[in-house]
Amino acid sequence: MDYETATKEILALTHGETDAVALMATLACEIHARHPFSDWTGFYRVVAPELMKIGPYQGGHGCLVIPFSRGVCGACARSGQVQNVPDVDAFPDHIACSSTTRSELVLPVWNGAGRLLGVLDLDSNTPAAFTKADEDWLVPLLATVFRDAA
């Protein structure tokens, strides 16, 4: 995957936008179209203390509600740390929104004020689909894109 080109094009598409949902929709579309192993790409938005609801996504259906206390997305929201899970069946309390998911990469989405807006969730039907290079691309991209998001 060409991370450099993807970054340039995503930053051009999102330049000047501050609406979090608009940014999430654009990123879900762009990342899903570009990542060869992401079968579901989307966001879960923080809507109440310790609770997320589905946001913009690409792929099949997703879970509608995820509490911070459950699953890979919840672990990411709770800890504020990237969760790269090569085998979801080995992850305690994994929430199976799709029975075909084998691996998952979930990243926290913060705005520049330090408020957790939600998480970016990439699911793959391929085991161990996501790499450290994916993380190294997405962490700074999310920080830049959502810096001024409300």
The verdict on domain 3-129 having CATH code 3.30.450.40 is yes
Task: Dump pLDDT digits (tens) for 97-116.
Answer: 888 999 999 999 999 999 99
Task: Dump pLDDT digits (tens) for 76-102.
Answer: 999 999 999 999 999 988 887 888 999
Q: Where are the domains of the chain?
A: 3-129
Task: Dump pLDDT digits (tens) for 14-55.
Answer: 999 999 999 999 999 999 999 999 999 999 999 999 999 999
CA distances in angstroms from 20 to 16, 77, 115, listed in the order given: 12, 17, 12
